[in-house]
Amino acid sequence: MSSQALDASVLVLNRSFNPVNVTTARRAFCLLCKAAAQVVDTEDEGLELHDFESWQELSELRREMDLASEHADFISTVSYELQVPRVIRLLFFDRLVKRRAAFNRRNLFARDENTCQYCGQSFPTSELSIDHVVPLAQNGRTCWENVVCACTECNREKGGRTPRQAGMELIRQPYAPKADPIIKLKLRREKYRSWKQFLDDAYWSVTLE
């Protein structure tokens, strides 16, 4: 099996089709095999529900007839190929889960889109650092509203000063995201376009980890 395909993201809905979280394809297949979830397929301009067996049959048909989306991922087993679902629905879970976006480096870089908040240039994660807008030495806090991504050069220029003291400007004020920044980035990719119809305004008012 392709480990990259198994690590792909899958949107998880509750039984009422409300989003509850995002998991990996590996975990999604476990739920499907246990008959604890079903695939919600929107690839053919409709909405179809599949258990593991019917999803396997559809996957084989799409592969043989070259009907799968160009953005589809497949995993190969000894006897068949299986398309990675983008959305699954839990069959025995009705609750809505309210969570906050986890305050960590990954989500911070996603919130700021790997862009230095002083010079406005994008950088790979390895070339970005975390800057306290109001330095800790000046009683600044380590929180969403006081940390931003900064490139090495801008961070060095700013030093232990506030942007005003350093004669620098933020391109955007830091903020606490209302939803998982990673999800927002994924929604920009054609690969995850099927998520959009389930992630409405009501959903974005519920914070996630």
pLDDT of amino acid 200 = 64
33-60 pLDDT, tens digit per residue, is: 999 999 999 887 778 999 999 999 999 9
Residue reference for tokens 């862009």:
115
Chain-centroid distance, C-alpha 24: 11
Helix ranges, 95-205 (H)? 105-111, 152-158, 163-166, 181-186, 201-204
Q: What is the pLDDT of residue 202?
A: 47
Tell me the whole-structure pTM to 2 decimals. 0.65
Residue ranges, the chain, pLDDT below 70: 1-3, 97-99, 200-209
**b/e map of 105-137 (b: 16 or more CB within 10 Å)?**
eebbbbbbebbbbbeeeebeeeebeebbbebee
pLDDT of residue 34: 96
Q: What is the pLDDT of residue 209?
A: 38
Nearest-angstrom CA–CA distance, 83 and 73? 6
The pLDDT of residue 99 is 61
Q: What is the pLDDT of residue 35?
A: 96
Domain parsing of the chain, residue ranges: 3-98, 105-166
Q: What is the CATH number of domain 105-166?
A: 1.10.30.50
Please state, in angstroms and rounded to a whole number, the distance separating the CA atoms of residues 23 and 167: 43
